[in-house]
């Protein structure tokens, strides 16, 4: 293997320690930051994520408030809960785990969250602030991806960045973050005409499409930095699914200069950034930023 491995677990552990120190400082000043996590329904992957979020919130010394609602919850009931959390002074961050059941409109729910408590950074106010470079809360997975990039290359200015995937959760905010770093940004997606050629231009390649190992070694420019956001479960004969990213790791790691593994790359950064966003929200809301 030629590429340097970008160790997301280690970078995330360091970030969590920094967050824990900030929380301890706030607690000494009489402020205990609190994160409310809302889970609607029984989606298995969502339950796993929420369990990790709750555990890590408590581990860094913050208060965790969990709200589990049945799958047949009405939109009005969820909106009423959000309204209560918006006005609850113990709550600094609100996270509604996606996806939501089909009777609930995601956008209406995300718009109902007080932007100052929107630690996912999905409210249009925060999306707009990221797009205009005027502050706001940045979505956790793109933020974690940027921190990993910066752990191997501090100055990204002028580099060609290609993001594959145009979701609101990763692709679009990642494009804004990299523009903010003065990269030349291209967003490729399922309808792009020649994705391999687009990828081959990239000094920085961010894969966020959710298709197992779609990005091959031959698509990667020599010495590129590769950030793999994909987490895909592949069935195996042994029964236990294997986790793979959107990048064919063995091939890509012979071409790239640095690459994130799956698991152990971007994944651990997402929750660490959620904790960071929650502390930041707690500070800002109290004028301590």
Residues that bind ligand GUN (CB under 6 A): 95-98, 120, 140-141, 169
* CB of 82 or CB of 202, closer to ligand GUN: 82
* CB of 49 or CB of 219, closer to ligand GUN: 49
CB of 159 to ligand GUN, least distance (A): 26
CB of 167 to ligand GUN, least distance (A): 9
CB of 141 to ligand GUN, least distance (A): 6
Residue 61: other Cβ atoms inside 10 A: 18
Q: In Å, how far are 40, 113, 223, 281 from 208, measured between CA atoms?
A: 25, 26, 20, 27
Residues labelled as active-site residues: 53, 97, 120
* CB of 140 or CB of 275, closer to ligand GUN: 140
* Nearest position to ligand GUN, beta carbon: 98
CA dist 276 and 143 (Å) reads: 10
List Cβ neighbours of 59 (8 Å cut-off, separation of 6 or more): 16, 20
Q: Are 103 and 75 in contact (CB under 8 A)?
A: yes
* CB of 95 or CB of 146, closer to ligand GUN: 95
Instruction: Write the burial class of residue 211 (CB in 10 Å: 0-12 exposed, 13-18 middle, 19+ buried).
Output: middle
Helix (H, G, I), strand (E, B) or coil at 63: strand
CB of 170 to ligand GUN, least distance (A): 8
Q: Are 202 and 160 in contact (CB under 8 A)?
A: yes
What single string gives the DSSP state of each residue in 232-285?
EEE--TTSSPEEE-SB-HHHHTTT-SEE--SSSSHHHHHHHHHHHHHHHHHHHH
* CB of 173 or CB of 212, closer to ligand GUN: 173
Between vectors from CA 273 to CA 142 and to CA 259, what angle results, nearest 5°?
Answer: 50
CB of 5 to ligand GUN, least distance (A): 24
């Amino acid at each position: 293997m030629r590429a340097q491995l970008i160790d997301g677990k280690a970078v995330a552990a360091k970030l969590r320690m920094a967050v824990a120190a900030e929380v301890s400082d706030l607690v000494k000043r009489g402020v205990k930051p609190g994160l409310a996590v809302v889970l609607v329904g029984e989606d298995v992957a969502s339950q796993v994520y929420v369990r990790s979020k709750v555990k890590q919130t408590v581990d860094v010394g913050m208060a965790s408030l969990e709200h589990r609602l049945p799958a047949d919850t009405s939109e009005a009931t969820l909106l009423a809960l959000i309204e209560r959390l918006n006005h609850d002074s113990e709550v600094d961050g609100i996270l509604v785990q996606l996806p939501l059941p089909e009777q609930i409109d995601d956008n209406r729910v995300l718009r109902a969250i007080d932007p100052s408590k929107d630690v996912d950074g999905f409210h249009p106010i925060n999306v707009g602030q990221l797009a205009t470079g005027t502050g706001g809360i940045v979505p956790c997975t793109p933020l974690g991806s940027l921190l990993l990039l910066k752990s191997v290359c501090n100055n990204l200015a002028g580099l060609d960045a290609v993001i594959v995937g145009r979701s609101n959760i990763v692709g679009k905010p990642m494009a804004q973050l990299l523009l903010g770093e003065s990269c030349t940004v291209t967003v490729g997606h399922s309808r792009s005409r020649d994705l391999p050629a687009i990828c081959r231009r990239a000094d920085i390649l961010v894969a966020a499409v959710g298709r197992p190992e779609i990005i091959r070694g031959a698509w990667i420019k020599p010495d590129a930095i590769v950030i793999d956001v994909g987490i895909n479960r592949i069935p195996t004969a042994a029964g236990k699914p294997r986790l793979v990213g959107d990048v064919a790791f063995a091939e890509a790691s012979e071409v790239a200069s640095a690459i994130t593994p799956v698991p152990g790359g971007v994944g651990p950064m997402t929750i660490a950034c959620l904790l960071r966003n929650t502390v930041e929200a707690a500070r800002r809301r109290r004028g301590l930023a």
